[in-house]
Amino acid sequence: MNLEKLSIIPLEIINDELIKQLLLKLEEIFELTTEQITWDSVTQIEKFDFKTGQRYRSTELINYFSTNIPEKTNRILFITTSDLYSPVFARYYGEAQLNGNVGIVSTFHLKENIREESHNSVILLSRLKKEVVHEVGHLFGLTHCPDPNCVMNLSGKACDIDIKSSSFCLNCSELLKNTTPTVQ
C-alpha cells in the first residue's frame, strides 16, 4: 500500500480539468495518491502575505509550508498563474525543496512564445505537465540533468520545455527508483 500523498493547491481559480490531468500524470509517474485541496483548508494565513505586488515569494512560501504541512499529506505542490519572485532567480517556472515536501509551479512564463491561439491550451498543458513532474522530481531528490531530453533538464526558456520529454532519462529513472521504492 502506498502511503505517499501529494496535494495540489491552486493559488487562483484554475480549470478543474487541468488540475485533474496534472493529478493523473503525477499518480502515473510517481505512483502517489493525489488530491486537490484548497488554500483555506490548510492555513488561516492570507495568500497575499506571500506576495510582493503581483508575484509570489516562492522560497518564503515553500519554507513556511515545509514546517506547517497539513495532516494526512506528505507533499504539497502549489499551482499559480502569477509570476514568482526569488532573490536568486530572475525568471523561472517553479521551485521545490530538494528531498523536501513543498514546491510551486507557475504558468506565468509557460505561456510565452505560443503563437497560435488554437494551440495555446495544448502547448500550455504540455509545458505545465513537464514542469510539475520536474518540480516533484526535485521533491524526490532528483537534481537537474544534463540530458536535454530528460524532464529534469533545466529549462531557461519556454521553448526548452517544448524540446524535452515528459519522462525521466534512464539515469534519472534509476536514481528515482533508488530513492523512492514505490516508483517503477
Q: How far apart are CA 43 and CA 66, in angstroms?
A: 13
Separation CA 64–CA 102 (nearest Å): 9
Q: What value does the CA radius of gyration of the chain take, rounded to a whole number of Å?
A: 15
Q: 95, 116, 135, 174: which one is catalytic?
A: 135
Scan for cell 500524470, then name that residue.
25
Cβ atoms within 10 A of the Cβ of 100, count?
Answer: 18
CA dist 172 to 114, 117, 167, Å? 29, 34, 9
- Residue pair 149/169 in contact (Cβ under 8 Å)? The answer is yes
Catalytic annotation present for 71: no
**Could you write out the three-class secondary structure of 138-158?**
HHCCCCCCCCCCCCCCCCCCH
Element (H, E) at 9: strand 5-10
Catalytic residues: 135
